[in-house]
């Protein structure tokens, strides 16, 4: 069947991706999985911006520009996340977020 | 040539800071010994130049640089001056970076400067892209600064900061994307123009809500405040001082901007943020009672004060916003005071527990007096400046809608609880000392800064008039 | 000439500056020499003296008022201004203060030379100077209240100066607490005035409770309140004045304040601080109507007679002088109650000098005899002739027979000559005043033995000489044409009292009889006070119970609630970052949904009903 792919389809897709990523971030025990989920969330938001830009005929393509920025920044963020995870791993030899609980109370 | 004109009119301090960051990084390759002293001197010179450059920035008619992205008016100037004051203090209380490796001094100071740079641009941002980039740079600098210590706690704290920071940026972007979808622009002034005339979409409401929540994270309000407690415990003392001020002040400036441009059209959002602020104060006050670690206690105290400032902002009248700005101003000095005192005592006793602060008054009487003054100001008692800040805040709440008045009474009750928190520390300071306290030799700077802060706190408390008038003028201009 | 009025803040700052210098000397353990402290203090007093003298000369011919104020705290409705207000009254009071302060500081050097707390004492003296100057120069009621409290604090510190003695500390505490009653009344009056001023009377902001707009204030206030209520409000201020000047129901603190060192008693409790009540009444004089003036008159006369009566039987010199001060201030209030402000001020000025002279002499006497009990003193005239001369001069002036007191008493009698009852009571008071002044002279200075070692201290003698000059000079200002029949009666009363005192002394009779018993036991007033106190004790038991069980219990309950919440919050922080995020989203969702639902429900309900 041919359904017209409207804006709302993209938005709902992005929302589902965001939800999956967020749930993964909250649930995952492995820290690297959490980082990946952050990347997922950022891509979902990228999708949001691009969908809005292409479906609505706005004058300036600010959304596209924004998504470029988002991509760059999320790359930086995951790099830094990896650095920090590596430093923790060096000290404690574990990547499970349940065992990294020294600061509490 | 528009770029040069823009730079000269609005961007000059930031440019100078960029130059000094680059200088720091380049010099880190060449200079091996005396790294710390050189870095400190260069950084302070950079800050001084930035200060001087503030005078050349155009203020009186508002100046929109870079095609409406970067804003420069009296409001931003005030906040930049506040940020510079914090930066000066943060640079000078760094002490000898005990626990850090000295070769990394240049990176340390360049991170400090980049945090300040992003703070500046967050304050002046008129556009969501600029804001997002600034938030990210600020957060990344802070992640690294938190993890700068070599013990395990700071790495863990940095990781926690990163994950929650990333999550909040994600939520922020979602909100911005929906806002973009509805209005077609990501510039604050354009959005406020659009919404001045038309009705409100439910999607707009959700978008604003998401933006609000992510900004609440940055300041450390409920419900996103758990990271603050752990991060402050993990970071070094001078970083904590830096962390409790620079991200917070820049975030507050941006929040004020966003509130005025976008949130003023929907009263529900104001009430939501007021209730969040109130809940923050209560949570912070209650949570701090049981703490025995001085850093966690100070973290809860910074949460409480964020709550107060947010309360003032969410009322959104001229008086209340100026009350918030005044509160931020006094908060700077009180905060630097207590963190500096902690640095001094930490070098002596190498402990983080409150119980080990017993009897400090007999060993270091003048420092303890200054610390007491700062704590009294935080608690909100006269004659220190915290009292006037709170009174001004509450009187502006009193004059606005009825609902804010009721919330204000609850806030006042929470203040009482927070007074207990501070007096717990004061009581311990004045007890009889245990015997194993030795005094080590300290550098001059932390002591001077402590005295200066206590003095300024007292002075503002005795003569708050000028400052209040300045804040009122500032808030007219937003 | 404008230099003096423009820079009046200099005399306010100088004592503070000297305080800081001496205090930092003590802090840094510098061992500042006593002479240096004295010189600095004298410097500040001397500057004040010059300023006030110049201002007096400038102001004495015209009644111009110079005011300079700056804003301290300004909110929307409430504007508190600080500054200075110079008119003839404040010039006169300032001159008295500076002069007596100078003399007392000079005297204190000799008196406290052997005391190791010398520097601290001078810090407190300077602080008192500062507070008093601020009070005299205040342009509105609020600054006056601030400095009123500061003066009370200075008085407490100075009375409790010899703090090693338990009795002195208790006495200082009593002094401060009773002064608090006056302070509370003052504050209550200010709050009521401020309420009316802010809500109903729209004035330009810099005249908030100011003295130069006080007549307009009276007009507006009378229009807003009933007569009785107006009297009640002003009664608060009058009570404050009475407490500070030790009038009848509140005169108990002056006797306790005599535990202070003698120069302090001379400065504070005879010459300056106790005049502040008079100063307050003069400042709010345009607000007083006839009823209030009758109250002041009545209270003043009662005090005058009562305290003079009690003073006749006192054995301790300083306590006698304390009651004498109350009594003379009662006479001053009488003059105020009759509306004669110049007479009151003249009497005040001359009384200050006289009383200060008496106190300083008693200081020398106490150093000579090492006691203050008059029963153990005798024949000082043979050893220390000059002291006897000074005491005679002061006694003659106090009883209104000669020198300065004569002038002032005559003016007082002239103003009250209209009212015969007032006149009779004033004559009775002057009889008793003369009686105790001369009785004390005879007791201390006359006798047979010759074995007293006089105290020869140069500074003390210089101070006494200067002061006595100031007591003598006003006596020459009496115009012979003002001499009429009432003056003659007054002089006769005084001389009669002199003879009575001589008679009592000569017969060495231990005075007995009903009147003596009454006077000795202070009219059984302490007994009455104690009985009233017993009634209050019952009330106190009830409030004690409430405090211990109900209020404290409530506070403990709140504490327990708070600590339990705190434990819950502590357990929430379990260190796992994901739990943090989860909690935050959950809480955020809860808050937002609740608030939105409630808000829309409220808006819907308002839309439906309204």
**Chain B contacts of A49, Cβ < 8 Å?**
177, 180
DSSP string, C245-307: TT-GGGTHHHHHGGGS-HHHHHIIIIIIGGGHHHHHHHHTGGG--HHHHHHHHHHHHHHHHHH
B172 confidence band (pLDDT: 50, 70, 90): very high
Q: How far apart are CA C510 and CA C498, in angstroms?
A: 18
| Section C330-352 average pLDDT | 89
The residue of chain C nearest to residue B167, with distances taken between CA atoms, is C581
Helix (H) or strand (E) holding C411: helix C403-415
| Section C247-254 average pLDDT | 81
The string of pLDDT tens digits covering residues A21-57 is 999 988 888 889 999 999 999 999 999 898 888 887 7
Extents of the domains making up chain A: 7-99
In a domain, C487, yes or no: no
The position carrying tokens 């077609």 is: B184
- Chain A 49-68, residues with CB within 8 Å of chain C CB atoms: none
Q: How far apart are CA B438 and CA C76, in angstroms?
A: 52
Looking at the domain that runs over A7-99, which CATH code has it been given?
Answer: 1.10.287.3510
| Section C117-123 average pLDDT | 87
- What is the C-alpha R_g of chain C? 29
Neighbours of B409 (CB within 10 A): 12
- 3-state SS class at C374: helix
More confident residue, B404 or C415: C415
Burial group, residue C177, by CB count within 10 angstroms (0-12, 13-18, 19+):
exposed
Residue C599: both structure tokens together: 């808000």
Closest Cα of chain A to B322: distance in Å? 33
Name residues whose C-beta falls within 8 Å of residue B436's C-beta, 6 or more positions apart in sequence: none
Extents of the domains making up chain B: 266-478
Q: What is the pLDDT of residue A14?
A: 92
Q: What is the ipTM of this complex?
A: 0.92
**Whether pLDDT at A82 is above 90:** yes
Q: What is the pLDDT of residue C188?
A: 92
Interface touch A87/B233, C-beta < 8 Å: no
| Contacts B–C by Cβ distance under 8 A | 75
Interior CA angle at C330 toward C327 and C335, to 5°?
140
Closest Cα of chain B to A103: distance in Å? 6
Q: What is the pLDDT of residue B104?
A: 73
**Which residues face C83 on adjacent strands?**
C69
Which of B427, B447, B451 lies closest to B359, judged by CA? B427
Phi, psi of B395 (to 5 degrees): -70, -35
**Chain A contacts of B230, Cβ < 8 Å?**
103-104
- 3-state SS class at C80: strand
Residue B10: both structure tokens together: 């609005």
In a domain, C544, yes or no: yes
Interface touch A85/B186, C-beta < 8 Å: no
Boundaries of domain holding C592: 537-609
Closest Cα of chain B to C566: distance in Å? 5
Q: What is the pLDDT of residue C506?
A: 74
Interface touch B164/C580, C-beta < 8 Å: yes
**Whether pLDDT at B73 is above 60:** yes
Mark residue C83 as left, alpha or beta (left: phi above 0; alpha: psi -120 to 50; beta: remaining).
left
Q: How far apart are CA B103 and CA B179, in angstroms?
A: 46
**Whether pLDDT at B478 is above 60:** no
Q: pTM of the entire structure?
A: 0.78
Interface touch A26/C582, C-beta < 8 Å: yes
CA distances from C50 to C94, C95, C363 (A): 11, 9, 28
Tell me, yes or no, if B11 comes closer than 8 A to chain A by beta carbon: no
| Section B17-36 average pLDDT | 82
The residue of chain C nearest to residue A98, with distances taken between CA atoms, is C576
Across chain B, what does the average pLDDT equal?
80
**Which of B65-74, B114-123, C162-171 holds the top average pLDDT?**
B114-123
Name residues whose C-beta falls within 8 Å of residue C577's C-beta, 6 or more positions apart in sequence: A97, B159, B160, B163, B164, B227
- Chain A 69-98, residues with CB within 8 Å of chain C CB atoms: 97-98
Neighbours of B455 (CB within 10 A): 14
More confident residue, C152 or C194: C152
Number of separate domains in chain C: 1
More confident residue, B101 or B286: B286
| Section C293-315 average pLDDT | 87
Q: What is the DSSP letter of B290?
A: T
State the helix-helix crossing angle for C420-445 and C385-398, rounded to 10 degrees: 170
Q: What is the pLDDT of residue B100?
A: 56
Give the rounded percent of residues in chain B with a pLDDT score beyond 90.
11
Residue A5: both structure tokens together: 């792919």
Q: What is the pLDDT of residue B445?
A: 59
Q: How far apart are CA C54 and CA C51, in angstroms?
A: 5
Q: What is the pLDDT of residue B327?
A: 86
In a domain, C584, yes or no: yes
User: Given the DSSP bridges, would you call strands C66-74 and C79-86 parallel, antiparallel or unpaired?
Assistant: antiparallel
């Amino acid at each position: 069947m041919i359904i017209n792919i409207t804006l709302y389809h993209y938005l709902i897709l992005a929302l589902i991706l965001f939800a999956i990523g967020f749930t993964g971030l909250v649930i995952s025990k492995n820290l690297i999985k959490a980082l990946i989920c952050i990347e997922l969330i950022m891509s979902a938001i990228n999708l949001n911006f691009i969908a809005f830009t292409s479906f609505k005929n706005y004058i300036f393509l600010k959304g596209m520009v924004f998504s470029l920025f988002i991509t760059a920044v999320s790359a930086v963020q995951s790099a830094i996340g990896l650095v920090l995870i590596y430093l923790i791993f060096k000290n404690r030899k574990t990547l499970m977020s349940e065992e990294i609980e020294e600061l509490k109370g | 040539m528009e770029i040069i004109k823009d730079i000269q009119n609005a961007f000059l301090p930031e440019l100078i800071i960029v130059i000094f960051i680059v200088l720091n990084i380049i010099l880190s390759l060449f200079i091996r010994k005396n790294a710390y002293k050189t870095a400190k001197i260069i950084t302070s010179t950079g800050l001084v130049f930035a200060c001087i450059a503030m005078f050349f920035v155009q203020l009186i008619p508002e100046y929109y640089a870079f095609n409406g992205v970067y804003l420069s008016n009296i409001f931003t100037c005030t906040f930049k001056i506040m940020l510079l004051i914090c930066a000066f203090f943060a640079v000078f209380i760094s002490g000898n970076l005990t626990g850090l490796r000295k070769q990394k001094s240049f990176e340390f100071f360049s991170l400090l400067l980049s945090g300040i740079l992003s703070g500046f641009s967050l304050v002046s941002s008129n556009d969501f892209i600029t804001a997002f980039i600034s938030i990210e740079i600020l957060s990344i600098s802070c992640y690294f600064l938190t993890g700068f210590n070599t013990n395990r706690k700071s790495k863990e704290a940095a990781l926690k900061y990163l994950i929650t920071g990333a999550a909040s940026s994600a939520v922020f972007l979602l909100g911005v994307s929906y806002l973009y979808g509805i209005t077609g622009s990501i510039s604050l002034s354009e959005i406020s123009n659009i919404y001045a005339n038309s009705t409100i979409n439910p999607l707009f409401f959700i978008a604003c809500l998401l933006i609000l929540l992510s900004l609440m994270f940055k300041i450390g309000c409920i419900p996103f405040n758990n990271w603050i407690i752990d991060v402050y415990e993990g970071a070094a003392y001078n970083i904590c001082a830096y962390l409790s001020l620079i991200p917070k002040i820049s975030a507050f400036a941006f929040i004020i901007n966003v509130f005025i441009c976008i949130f003023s059209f929907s009263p529900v959002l104001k009430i939501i943020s007021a209730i969040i602020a109130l809940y923050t104060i209560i949570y912070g006050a209650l949570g701090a009672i049981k703490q025995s670690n001085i850093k966690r206690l100070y973290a809860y105290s910074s949460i409480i004060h964020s709550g107060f400032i947010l309360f003032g902002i969410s009322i959104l009248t001229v008086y209340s916003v100026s009350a918030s700005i005044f509160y931020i101003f006094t908060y700077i000095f009180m905060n630097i005071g207590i963190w500096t005192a902690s640095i001094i005592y930490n070098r002596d006793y190498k402990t983080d527990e409150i119980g080990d602060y017993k009897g400090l008054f007999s060993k270091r009487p003048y420092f303890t007096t200054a610390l007491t003054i700062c704590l009294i100001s935080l608690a909100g008692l006269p004659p220190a400046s915290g009292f006037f800040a709170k009174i001004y805040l509450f009187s502006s709440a009193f004059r606005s809608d009825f609902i804010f008045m009721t919330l204000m009474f609850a806030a006042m009750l929470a203040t009482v609880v927070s007074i207990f928190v501070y007096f717990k520390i004061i009581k311990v300071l004045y007890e009889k000392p245990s015997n194993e306290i030795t005094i080590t030799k300290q550098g001059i700077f932390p002591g001077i800064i402590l005295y200066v802060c206590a003095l300024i706190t007292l002075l503002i408390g005795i003569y708050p008039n000028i400052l209040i008038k300045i804040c009122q003028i500032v808030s007219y201009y937003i | 000439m404008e230099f003096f009025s423009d820079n009046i803040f200099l005399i306010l700052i100088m004592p503070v500056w000297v305080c800081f210098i001496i205090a930092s000397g003590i802090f840094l353990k510098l061992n500042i020499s006593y002479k240096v402290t004295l010189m600095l203090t004298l410097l500040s007093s001397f500057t004040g003296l010059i300023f006030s003298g110049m201002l007096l000369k400038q102001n004495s011919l015209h009644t111009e008022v110079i005011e300079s104020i700056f804003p301290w705290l300004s909110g929307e409705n409430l504007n508190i201004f600080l500054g200075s207000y110079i008119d003839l009254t404040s010039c006169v009071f300032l001159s008295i203060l500076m002069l007596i302060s100078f003399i007392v500081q000079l005297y204190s050097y000799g008196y406290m030379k052997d005391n190791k707390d010398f520097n601290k004492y001078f810090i407190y003296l300077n602080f008192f100077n500062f507070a008093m100057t601020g009070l005299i120069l205040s342009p509105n009621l609020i600054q006056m209240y601030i400095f009123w409290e500061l003066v009370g604090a200075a008085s407490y510190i100075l009375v409790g100066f010899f703090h090693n003695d338990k009795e002195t500390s208790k006495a200082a505490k009593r002094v401060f607490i009773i002064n608090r009653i006056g302070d509370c009344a003052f504050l209550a009056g200010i709050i009521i005035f401020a309420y009316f001023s802010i809500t109903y009377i729209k004035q330009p902001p810099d005249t908030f409770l100011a003295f130069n707009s006080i007549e307009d204030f009276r007009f507006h206030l009378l229009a807003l309140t009933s007569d009785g209520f107006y009297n009640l409000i002003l009664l608060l201020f009058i009570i404050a004045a009475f407490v500070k000047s030790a009038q009848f129901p509140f005169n108990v603190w002056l006797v306790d304040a005599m535990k202070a060192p003698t120069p302090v008693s001379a400065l504070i409790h005879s010459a300056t601080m106790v005049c502040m009540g008079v100063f307050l009444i003069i400042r709010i004089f345009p607000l007083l109507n006839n009823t209030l003036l009758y109250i002041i008159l009545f209270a003043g006369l009662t005090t005058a007679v009562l305290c003079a009566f009690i003073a006749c039987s006192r054995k301790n010199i300083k306590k006698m002088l304390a009651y004498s001060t109350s009594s003379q201030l009662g006479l001053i209030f009488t003059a105020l109650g009759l509306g004669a402000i110049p007479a009151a001020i003249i009497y005040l000025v001359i009384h200050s000098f006289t009383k200060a002279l008496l106190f300083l002499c008693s200081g020398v006497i106490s150093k000579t005899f090492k006691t203050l009990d008059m029963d153990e003193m005798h024949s000082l005239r043979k050893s220390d002739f000059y002291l006897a001369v000074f005491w005679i001069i002061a006694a003659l002036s106090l009883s209104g027979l000669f020198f300065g007191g004569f002038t002032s008493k005559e003016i007082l009698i002239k103003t009250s000559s209209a009212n015969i009852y007032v006149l009779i009571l004033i004559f009775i008071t002057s009889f008793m005043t003369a009686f105790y002044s001369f009785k004390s002279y005879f007791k201390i200075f006359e006798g047979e033995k010759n074995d007293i070692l006089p105290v020869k201290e140069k500074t003390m003698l210089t101070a006494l000489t200067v002061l006595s000059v100031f007591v003598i000079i006003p006596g020459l200002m009496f115009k012979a044409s003002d001499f009429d029949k009432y003056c003659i009666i007054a002089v006769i009363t005084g001389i009669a009292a002199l003879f009575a005192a001589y008679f009592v002394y000569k017969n060495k009779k231990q005075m007995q009889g009903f009147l003596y018993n009454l006077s000795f036991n202070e009219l059984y007033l302490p007994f009455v006070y104690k009985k009233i106190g017993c009634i209050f004790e019952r009330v106190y038991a009830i409030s004690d119970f409430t405090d211990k069980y109900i209020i404290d219990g409530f506070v403990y309950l709140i504490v327990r609630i708070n600590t339990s919440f705190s434990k819950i919050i502590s357990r929430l922080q379990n260190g796992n970052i994901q739990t943090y995020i989860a909690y935050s989203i959950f809480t955020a969702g809860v808050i937002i949904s609740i608030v939105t639902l409630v808000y829309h429900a409220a808006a819907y309900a308002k839309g439906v009903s309204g």
